[in-house]
Amino acid sequence: MKSASVSPNAIPNDLDLIPNLRRTNSPKFLNATINTNVSSISLDASPSSPFFDSGHDASIISNSGVTLTFIRKLKTFVNDRNAQWTTSQVCDALIKPWTRLDKCSMIDSFLNNYTKDCHPELGLTSDQATINASLYIVHAWDSNFIELVTSLESFIESNQNLCNSQPLGIWIDVFSTSLWHPIIHSLPNWTNNYLSLMKSIPITVCIMKPWENPLVLKDTRCLHHMYCNIRAGNTLHFQVATTDKKIILKKLFVEEFEKYFNIYYNIDFSTSLCNHTGDRDMIIEALSQKPHNLYEVNKSLKKGIIQSFFLHVHELISEEKNKTKSRANSFVGTVDDSSVVSDMFLNNHTLKLQYSLAYLYFKNNDLQLAEDTCKENLQLHLQYIQMNLEAGKDTKPATLAMLKMKSLLANIYRESKQLSFAQVMLAVLV
Mind listing the pLDDT tens digit for each residue in 330-356? 434 433 444 554 456 556 767 777 787
Question: For residue 331, is it within any domain?
Answer: no
pLDDT tens-digit readout, 292-329: 688 888 888 988 888 888 778 777 776 766 665 544 44
Pairwise CA distance, residues 194 & 47, whole Å? 17
**Looking at the structure, do residues 307 and 352 belong to the same domain, yes or no?**
no
Q: Is 70 exceeded by the pLDDT of residue 158?
A: yes
Residue 245 pLDDT > 80: no
The domain boundary residue, chosen from 264, 279, 313: 313
More confident residue, 337 or 38: 337
Domain assignment present for residue 328? The answer is no
Torsion angle defined by CA atoms of residues 199, 285, 6 and 28, in that order, rounded to the nearest 10 degrees: 30
In a domain, 281, yes or no: yes
What is the tally of structural domains in the chain? 2
Same-domain check for residues 112 and 16: yes
Q: Tell me the pLDDT band of 24, cut-offs 50, 70 and 90.
A: very low
Same domain, 297 and 369: no
Domain that holds residue 182: 8-313
How many C-beta atoms surround the C-beta of residue 127 within 10 A?
13
What's the confidence (pLDDT) of residue 296?
Answer: 87
Q: Same domain for 305 and 340? A: no
pLDDT surpasses 50 at 54: no
- 3 in any annotated domain: no
Q: What is the pLDDT of residues 105-150, one digit of tens each?
A: 999 999 999 999 999 999 999 999 999 999 999 999 999 999 999 9
More confident residue, 364 or 74: 74
- Is residue 322 assigned to a domain? no
Burial class, 418, CB count within 10 angstroms (exposed 0-12 / middle 13-18 / buried 19+): middle
pTM of the predicted model over 0.75: no
Backbone φ, ψ for residue 279 (5° rounding): -60, -45
Residue 269 has pLDDT above 60, yes or no: yes
pLDDT-derived band of residue 248, with 50, 70 and 90 as boundaries?
A: confident
User: Is residue 219 domain-shared with residue 364, that is, in the same domain?
Assistant: no
Q: What is the pLDDT of residue 188?
A: 58
Q: Is the same domain home to 209 and 71?
A: yes
- Return the number of other C-beta atoms located less than 10 Å from residue 246's C-beta: 12
Asked whether residue 235 falls in the same domain as residue 382, the answer is no
**Average pLDDT for the chain:** 75
- Judge whether 238 lies within some domain: yes
Mark whether 161 and 223 lie in a shared domain.
yes
